A and B are shown apart, each in its own frame.
Chain A
Amino acid sequence: MLPLMLGRVRKARTWDLGCLQEILKSFTERCSQCAAVSWGLTDEGKYYCTSCHNVTDRSEEVVSTAVITNTKINSISRGLRKRSKHEKGWDWYVCEGFQCILYHQAEALKTLGVGAELKNEVLHNLWKRYLQKSKQAYCKNPVRTRGRKAKVLGDNLQSSDCASELELLSDTTLESGAEFQSDPQIPKPFPLVKASPKSEAADVCSGSVDGVEYSEWKEKGVLKMTVPRTLALCYLSLLWQRETITLSDLLRFVEEDRIPYVNAFQLFPEEMKVYGRDKGIFAVESWPDYEDIYKNMIEVAIFLDLPRFPDVTEDCYLHPNILCMKYLLELNLPEEMHSLTCQVVKMTGIGEVDFLTFDPIAKKKRTVKYDVQAVAVIVVVLKLLFLLDDKLEWSYSSLAEAYNEEHREDEPQFDFRKWYQVMKKTFDEKRQKWEEARAKYSWKTKRPIYRSHIDKSVMYKRREMVEHLQKQFSALVGSTPVAEKKDPSSFQFNWTEGDTGSPCFHGHSLQGLLRTKGQSLITKNSLYWLSTQKFCKSYCKHVTTYEESNFSLSYQFILSIFSFLLRIKTSILHEEVSLIEKKLFEKKYNESKKRSRPKKVRRH
């Protein structure tokens, strides 16, 4: 290979051949075109690939790294020797990365209208507690040296002495992630389960100081921080504050990019380089999943050994009565239904403070899916009113329609068929738009994370290529202005605004569905069918399953739009409905255990 190359490399002759070979050998990056590692030098001192003759812009890149002032060739040959010299940046630790993400998430929540105490007190303390419990800081025997730990929460923490660090409820504030400073001290590595061979291989590396160790860190009883768990922490603090944001709202805000989550590492200061093993820790290529975050939240709460949360009382947003009202409005259902949902809540006891309040220390470690539960109550009420057997709801609709025809001046009666038509159309459109928006979501950032130094230039080149191509195609996109981002709201639909063209059913009455019995009003329909006949009691952790085809079309429709509203799987809502029915018809369930189970249960 050498003699062939020398023809092109006039300048290289000033060195002896051995030296040249040394230099070429030291440049081991892959060619961005053909991925081969076989380099020669051009007259200008640039590298060219001997297999595809692609000339790199490698030398430019080095010059732009202002720190290095040596000759181009030298700086490259030096480059691979030590990680810290490869990417000039701060020394930072993985937990600092998470702290930075949490900081930005808390900031985002603040702009969404959440009180400032959430960030400054609750989330801060939870994070401190996490560091303490995972023995990364604030404890007698941290994984790393104590001196550096004080720095983790920022330099403005000087007021607090060592003793107060252990105090959980101190009033220090969570500092901006941008104010981290590098610490000259090198901390003790994480205890590893097995001694990993200190691989000098170029492909095991990380931008953070402890990224490689962190990714291999396995210690029993320690819950490692992950990006989804940052959301779990956020939700825990929201719950602690009893804020008016449910888990489904939180996840929807994440999906709308109002709360940093996907590619949250973008928000790290420029000097915090993210690459190598950091990819596995910080890069996320999925939106958070309701069940997953919910599970994580309970795990984190248990790990942090949190005390009982503040009571969820009737005046809290998370109380089913209030949430039911909210979702009745959201789902364009008559407000009159609220009294029925309240009744169901009362009969089932799901409005009790003890039931609603999260207590991680209690024996039964679970919390309520407030939003799912409220929607499930509405489903139960709809079943009580209309039976939803694909027959009764339509015959009631015909009655209501006839009544409304005759009494145009009066308050209209709720017409299920009409409601169905409106909702079907609206939700189909909404879902279509949602799917389109998802398909257009761009996951990749301006700062690609490469796995190893060899990949670096390839990744950047690829990024550049994509950006160029995107520019080309965006020129072909019409000048149709992108719909302006709506202000964040816990409501996704607004039915009362006349301009949507969809009728609003909030004021419609339920008169046609009720009859008087004695002094009270009861529903005309006296039948009911149970969503689940028999609950699963094995160890699979499913309560029940949802096989769509077993259920009436109306029920399927309702479950599908309601679960879309919360962005959850229909099976989760079905499960919740079954659980509420289990409470509501407890007696019947007990009876049916003795006798053969009747398909339909009489309520009166």
Chain B
Amino acid sequence: MSDFDEELTKLALAEDGKRETSVFSNPGMHFPWLQERIETVVTGGKKKRDFAQTTSACLSFIQEALLKHQWQQAAEYMHSYLQTLEDSDTYKRQNAPEVIWKLGSEILFYHPKSNVETFNNFADRMKNIGVLNYLKISLQHALYLIHHGKLEDANRNLSDAETWRYGEKSSSQEVLINLVQAYKGLLQYHTWSKKKTELSEIDKDDYAYTSETGNSGNQSCRTSTSICALLKTPGVWDPFVKSYVEMLEFCEDRDGAREILTNYAYDEKFPSNPNAHIYLYEFLKREKAPRAKLISVLKILHEIVPSHPLMLEFHTLLRKSDTEEHQKLGLSVLFEFLDFAGCTKNITAWKYLAKVNVSHLVWVEEEWMSRRSWWPTFHFSFFWAKSDWKADADLACEKAFVVGILLGKGCRYFRYIVKQDHETLKKKIKRMKKCVKKYSIVNPGVCT
């Protein structure tokens, strides 16, 4: 039976190899219990080998020990679990190195008796079991070394991995190699930026300065090749993009930087990523790009994250714009910003709202329509009046003004703030009362 089984699994594996699954497939939803179901379904009525049964029990003991941070016990079970590397079931044997690597590296990371040396030993062994895991393990090994401050070792490790090849370059390998190179680039960036801060302390006329800047220029060129390849593959590569752009800007390669950022933000193959737009916006701002361009970038960010702090900047940009459309958008950006619980205490937002042009009151009314049912309790309850006043009187004043406009002078929030006797704010409150009387969008007499 087992011969036949092995044949079958070999075939299945060959197919898997073609598909190159799992490595970077989407981490979608999965049912943890389904695995066990599937196992029992596959074995059907046939008795499972005790080997399979005990090793899977061993696995759950390890997982339990890890969960409870019992590293010693986990190591004990790990000792037995290693025999899965010799499983006669080809499919399970092929999967064993990855499982062992994941569990083992976790144990070695936390175990009090473990050190960098033991981890290195383990990683070097595991890399060479089969070929499928070499790159992944090398990469994680390097990350471990970085975590422990061994940057040079990490760099050496990544260089080794970079030159490693097995058979034809497959797509999953390519992504991994790109990642390896990108991390190498990130390490180079690190040394470069350290040098940069050192240089900033040296006198610019010094001879050393000129030669060093030349060097760092070289370095950034090398880095660019290592990171560049990764940035062509769809994904979220924030730290890489950021450091890469910084180096490019330092070399005065503005076009290169712009291209990278634009691509990162606008290429449809990339997953939607707010940071991509933020980076682009910040770059354009540094570059003093025209307002229209800035607005178009923030417009997308607004669609993804309407509560982002940059939205206030977006609002001011829109307000400065000449078109009526932009002005109107600016208002709704502000309202949408305040829809989020995390932004309710943002005094700037309230200030901006309070400063809305009197001629735009129609638009205010429009925005208010949809919020009329829930903003009063969300922002303007009596409770909030008391606590806002206690925490930040200025904020309370701004809010009171807005609520006066929106709900009229009869509402409790407004009345509570107005009643407060405050030396410095006296004048302000008086002015506010006047304005509310004049501009409130509600008919007087209606109270909440």
Q: Decide yes or no: A34 and B85 within 8 Å by CB, A439-B77, A441-B54, A478-B72 being known contacts.
A: no
For residue B86, CB closer than 8 A to chain A, the reply is yes
> Is there contact, CB below 8 Å, between B166 and A51?
yes
> Is there contact, CB below 8 Å, between B58 and A440?
yes
Q: Decide yes or no: A435 and B57 within 8 Å by CB, A466-B85, A469-B125 being known contacts.
A: yes
> Is there contact, CB below 8 Å, between A469 and B82?
yes
For residue B79, CB closer than 8 A to chain A, the reply is yes
* Minimum CB–CB distance for A303 against chain B, Å: 23
Q: Please, which residues of chain B bring their CB within 8 A of the CB of A448? A: 86
- In the complex formed, the residue of A with least CB distance to B83 is A444
For residue B47, CB closer than 8 A to chain A, the reply is yes
* Minimum CB–CB distance for B66 against chain A, Å: 13
Q: How far is the CA of A293 from the CA of B72 in the complex (A)?
A: 38
* Minimum CB–CB distance for B172 against chain A, Å: 16
For residue A170, CB closer than 8 A to chain B, the reply is no
Q: Decide yes or no: A286 and B75 within 8 Å by CB, A465-B85, A476-B111 being known contacts.
A: no
Q: Mark B88-132, 1 if CB is under 8 A from A, else 0.
A: 100000000000100010011001011000100110010011110
> Is there contact, CB below 8 Å, between B49 and A439?
no
> Is there contact, CB below 8 Å, between B50 and A472?
no
Q: Decide yes or no: A463 and B79 within 8 Å by CB, A51-B167, A439-B61, A472-B122 being known contacts.
A: no
For residue A473, CB closer than 8 A to chain B, the reply is yes
For residue B80, CB closer than 8 A to chain A, the reply is yes
Q: Please, which residues of chain B bring their CB within 8 A of the CB of A546? A: none
Q: Mark A35-74, 1 if CB is under 8 A from B, else 0.
A: 0100000000000000110000000000000000000000
- In the complex formed, the residue of A with least CB distance to B97 is A465
Interface size class for chain A? 35 or more
For residue A598, CB closer than 8 A to chain B, the reply is no
Question: Looking at the complex, which one of A34, A280, A289 makes contact with B2 (CB distance below 8 Å)?
Answer: A280
> Is there contact, CB below 8 Å, between A440 and B77?
yes
For residue B76, CB closer than 8 A to chain A, the reply is yes
For residue B51, CB closer than 8 A to chain A, the reply is yes
Chain A, interface SS category? loop
For residue A407, CB closer than 8 A to chain B, the reply is no
- In the complex formed, the residue of B with least CB distance to A36 is B167
For residue A443, CB closer than 8 A to chain B, the reply is yes
* Minimum CB–CB distance for A571 against chain B, Å: 14
- In the complex formed, the residue of B with least CB distance to A436 is B61
Q: Please, which residues of chain B bring their CB within 8 A of the CB of A420? A: none
| Residues 450 to 482 of chain A near chain B (Cβ within 8 Å) | 459, 462-463, 465-466, 468-470, 472-478
Q: How far is the CA of A227 from the CA of B277 in the complex (A)?
A: 69
Question: Looking at the complex, which one of A444, A475, A478 makes contact with B86 (CB distance below 8 Å)?
Answer: A444
For residue B347, CB closer than 8 A to chain A, the reply is no
Q: Decide yes or no: A472 and B118 within 8 Å by CB, A51-B166, A439-B54, A439-B80 being known contacts.
A: yes
* Minimum CB–CB distance for B33 against chain A, Å: 20
* Minimum CB–CB distance for A197 against chain B, Å: 16
For residue B229, CB closer than 8 A to chain A, the reply is no
Q: Please, which residues of chain A bring their CB within 8 A of the CB of B72? A: 476-478
Q: Mark A3-35, 1 if CB is under 8 A from B, else 0.
A: 000000000000000000000000000000110
- In the complex formed, the residue of A with least CB distance to B78 is A473
> Is there contact, CB below 8 Å, between B49 and A285?
yes
Q: Mark A274-298, 1 if CB is under 8 A from B, else 0.
A: 0000001001011101000000000
Q: Mark B51-68, 1 if CB is under 8 A from A, else 0.
A: 110110110010000000
Chain B, interface SS category? helix
> Is there contact, CB below 8 Å, between A285 and B77?
no
For residue A424, CB closer than 8 A to chain B, the reply is no
> Is there contact, CB below 8 Å, between A473 and B50?
no
Q: Please, which residues of chain A bring their CB within 8 A of the CB of B85? A: 462, 465-466, 469
> Is there contact, CB below 8 Å, between A438 and B75?
no
Q: Please, which residues of chain A bring their CB within 8 A of the CB of B166? A: 34, 51-52
Q: Mark A418-456, 1 if CB is under 8 A from B, else 0.
A: 000000000000000001101111111000100000000
Question: Looking at the complex, which one of B79, B86, B88 makes contact with A473 (CB distance below 8 Å)?
Answer: B79
Q: How far is the CA of A283 from the CA of B86 in the complex (A)?
A: 13
Q: Please, which residues of chain B bring their CB within 8 A of the CB of A473? A: 75-76, 78-79, 82, 104, 107
> Is there contact, CB below 8 Å, between B86 and A462?
yes
Q: How far is the CA of A202 from the CA of B204 in the complex (A)?
A: 74
* Minimum CB–CB distance for A545 against chain B, Å: 15
* Minimum CB–CB distance for A120 against chain B, Å: 33
> Is there contact, CB below 8 Å, between B113 and A475?
yes
Q: Please, which residues of chain A bring their CB within 8 A of the CB of B121? A: 472
Q: Decide yes or no: A476 and B57 within 8 Å by CB, A280-B2, A441-B80, A469-B125 being known contacts.
A: no
Q: Please, which residues of chain B bring their CB within 8 A of the CB of A443? A: 51, 54, 83
Q: Decide yes or no: A466 and B49 within 8 Å by CB, A34-B166, A473-B78, A477-B72 being known contacts.
A: no
- In the complex formed, the residue of B with least CB distance to A467 is B82
Q: Please, which residues of chain B bring their CB within 8 A of the CB of A459? A: 86
* Minimum CB–CB distance for A142 against chain B, Å: 30
* Minimum CB–CB distance for A16 against chain B, Å: 31
Q: How far is the CA of A91 from the CA of B77 in the complex (A)?
A: 40
Q: How far is the CA of A475 from the CA of B107 in the complex (A)?
A: 13
Q: Please, which residues of chain A bring their CB within 8 A of the CB of B118? A: 472, 475-476
Q: Decide yes or no: A463 and B51 within 8 Å by CB, A33-B128, A439-B61 being known contacts.
A: no
- In the complex formed, the residue of A with least CB distance to B85 is A466
> Is there contact, CB below 8 Å, between A477 and B79?
yes
> Is there contact, CB below 8 Å, between A442 and B86?
no
> Is there contact, CB below 8 Å, between A465 and B80?
no
Q: How far is the CA of A287 from the CA of B79 in the complex (A)?
A: 21
> Is there contact, CB below 8 Å, between B78 and A438?
no
* Minimum CB–CB distance for B170 against chain A, Å: 13
Question: Looking at the complex, which one of B47, B49, B75, B100 makes contact with A476 (CB distance below 8 Å)?
Answer: B75
Q: How far is the CA of A477 from the CA of B107 in the complex (A)?
A: 11
Q: Please, which residues of chain A bring their CB within 8 A of the CB of B47? A: 286, 289
Q: Please, which residues of chain B bring their CB within 8 A of the CB of A465? A: 85, 125, 128-129
**Residues of A participating in the B interface, judged by any CB pair closer than 8 Å:** 33-34, 36, 51-52, 280, 283, 285-287, 289, 435-436, 438-444, 448, 459, 462-463, 465-466, 468-470, 472-478
6 further A-B pairs in the complex, CB-CB below 8 A; given A470-B79, A476-B108: A33-B131, A51-B167, A285-B49, A438-B50, A448-B86, A476-B71
Which 8 pairs of residues, A with B, have the shortest CB-CB distance?
Answer: A476-B75, A285-B51, A286-B50, A439-B58, A439-B57, A440-B80, A285-B49, A473-B79
24 cross-chain CB contacts under 8 A: A33-B131, A34-B131, A283-B88, A285-B50, A286-B50, A286-B51, A435-B57, A439-B77, A440-B76, A442-B80, A442-B83, A462-B129, A465-B85, A465-B129, A469-B100, A470-B82, A472-B125, A473-B75, A473-B82, A474-B79, A475-B118, A476-B118, A477-B75, A477-B76
